[in-house]
Amino acid sequence: MAAVAPPIRIADPSDPRIAAFVSIKERDLTGRQGRFIAEGTVVLRMLAAAHRAGRGIAAEAILLLENRVAGLAELLAQFPADVPVFVADARVFDAIAGFNMHRGVLALGRSDAMPGRDALIAALPASSLVLAACGLSNHDNMGSLFRNAAAFGVDAVLVDAASCDPMYRKSIRVSVGSALTLPFAREGSAAELIHRLRAAGFAIWGLSPRGETEVTEIPPAPRTALLVGTEGEGLPQAVLSAVRTARIRQRPGLDSLNVAMAAGIALHQVASINGRI
């Protein structure tokens, strides 16, 4: 374990050393330019793992409620000594964050050195499972997709530029930190994504209630990519026309499943037939 530097006490919410933590919710809306906020002990642990892995995600600073420090000593030791740990009492902590933070555990990280889409696809192993999303706009669904992807052995998550940012605070939290440890890229159009995956030898299946094949009948393949769309509208017709499509059998009367639920069912099926779980 690394030597843990003494925590730095913050008594003034306007202290410039913790400026990046100020007004978290408002900063979520305006963007962080390559940086993100990790929230909670479980996510902090995942950030430590991501930092050690050296894949383009790194911790920059940690802010803790004073009564959380002792219980996190072992976890804090997993971060390099040059990552400062700031500590504040409840009044100052809430004034910094801008709302009552019951978890009392925040970290600032950066993700500006992650590989791009094409480099990520090129680095995938010969046997690979990819989850791709097009036009996904809900941060809760994005986080749930990452959580499911991690559970079923997905090698990478690829989303188009029209999708929301997986590094948004709520997405990271809902993913229970999987967005920090699972390789992903967010760029380009759905058409470009399909083209790159097909060129890399992937069998591409778009999930849709109108799919041509039962999801249980998707055949094994060394490389499979599952493609999902946004809530409500689902995948555009242009995308569905460009790939094979699969549906999940359900009782009549409901339009469709939640996208994260549908992805979880399909990922379990594909991971099972390919011996990944």
At residue 144 the predicted structure's pLDDT band, cuts being 50, 70 and 90, is very high
Give CA–CA dist 118/122, Å, rounded.
Answer: 6
User: Which pLDDT does position 108 carry in this prediction?
Assistant: 94
Give CA–CA dist 247/216, Å, rounded.
Answer: 9
Residues 61-67: what's their mean pLDDT? 95
pLDDT digits (tens, 9 = 90+) for 81-90: 999 999 999 9
Nearest alpha-carbon partner for 125 in 270, 222, 219 = 222
Nearest alpha-carbon partner for 225 in 235, 233, 20, 111 = 235
Taking all residues of the chain, what is their mean pLDDT, rounded to a whole number? 92
Helix (H) or strand (E) holding 229: strand 223-229
Residue 2 scores a pLDDT above 90: no
Non-local (6+) Cβ contacts of 195 within 8 A are none
Residues 209-226: what's their mean pLDDT? 96
pLDDT digits (tens, 9 = 90+) for 190-200: 999 999 999 99
User: Which pLDDT does position 54 carry in this prediction?
Assistant: 87
User: Which pLDDT does position 244 carry in this prediction?
Assistant: 97
User: Which pLDDT does position 78 carry in this prediction?
Assistant: 95
Nearest alpha-carbon partner for 47 in 57, 61, 35, 55 = 57
Residue 112 scores a pLDDT above 90: no
Distances (CA, A) of 265 to 99, 221, 251, 258: 36, 18, 15, 11
Please name the residue ranges forming H helices in 167-236: 169-174, 178-181, 190-199
User: Which pLDDT does position 257 carry in this prediction?
Assistant: 85
pLDDT digits (tens, 9 = 90+) for 29-40: 556 678 899 999
User: Which pLDDT does position 100 carry in this prediction?
Assistant: 79
- What structural domains does the chain harbor? 6-108 (3.30.1330.30), 115-272 (3.40.1280.10)
Give CA–CA dist 228/263, Å, rounded.
Answer: 7
Per-residue burial over 142-169, b = 16 or more CB atoms within 10 Å of its CB, e = otherwise? bbbbbbbbbebebbbbbbbeebbbbbbb
Give CA–CA dist 152/64, Å, rounded.
Answer: 32
Question: pTM, whole model, 2 decimals?
Answer: 0.93
Residue 28 scores a pLDDT above 80: no
Give CA–CA dist 173/193, Å, rounded.
Answer: 26
- Asked which of 60-69, 140-149, 224-233 is least confident by mean pLDDT, the reply is 224-233
Output DSSP code: residue 121: H
User: Which pLDDT does position 211 carry in this prediction?
Assistant: 93
Residue 26 scores a pLDDT above 90: no
